[in-house]
Amino acid sequence: MTVDASEAARLSEDRKYVWDYFQLHSSQRIASFNFYITLATAILAALGAILQQGANLLGVAAVLGVVLVLFSFVFWKMDQRNTGLIKNAEAALKYFEEQTADSSSPTIPIINLFQRDEHLVHERRSRPSIFFWRNHFSYTDCFNLVFFTFGLLGALGAVLAIARLF
C-alpha cells in the first residue's frame, strides 16, 4: 500500500489525535480510581473508628456506610464510562495498526501492540485455571472487585451501626 505525502501526514495527525485521546482517558481512569481509593479508605477508617467508639455516633456511622455504598456505585459507573472511551480509542488504534500490517502474514506483527494484546488476552481467557489467581484479570475485573468490596464493607458498616442503634 503506497500513500502519498499528504495522506501520510493526515494519517500521522489522526494517529496522534487518537493516541492523545487514549492517553487522556486512561490517565483519567487511573486518577479517578486513585481518588476513589483514597476517599473510600478515609470513609471506611472513620466508619471503623466510630463503630469501635460506641453508641453516641452510630447515626453518623450509618450515614458513612451508605455514603460509601453510594460512592462505590458512582465511581463504578464513572469507570464504566471511562472504559468505554478507552475501548473506542483502542479500536481506532487497532485500525491504524491494520493500515501498516502485512495482510499476507498469518501472524500479528509484534509492533501491533493493541491487536497483539487482544489476541494474547483472548488466548489466556480461553484457558481458565481452577486456581483463580492464575487466570487473566483485566483492569476492569480488578477495579470492579475493589468497588464491590468497598461497597460491601460500607453496607456492612451501615447495617452494624443501625443494628447497634436499636
In tens, the pLDDT along 10-41 reads 888 999 999 999 999 999 999 999 999 999 99
Q: Kindly state the greatest CA–CA separation across the chain.
A: 77
pLDDT at 146: 98
Looking at residues 145-162, what average pLDDT do you find?
97
Measured distance CA(64)–CA(87) in Å, rounded: 34
CA 115 to CA 94: how far, in whole Å?
Answer: 6
DSSP 126: T
Tens of pLDDT, residue by residue over 115-153, are 888 888 899 899 999 998 888 899 999 999 999 999 999
Angle, in degrees to the nearest 10, between helices 139-165 and 58-100: 170
Which carries the bigger pLDDT value, residue 84 or residue 165? 84
Q: What angle do CA 71, 74, 75 make, to 5 degrees?
A: 85
How high is the mean pLDDT of the chain?
91
Tell me if 93 sits within 8 A of 22, measured CB to CB: yes
- Range in 51-55, 61-65, 147-151 the model is least confident about: 51-55
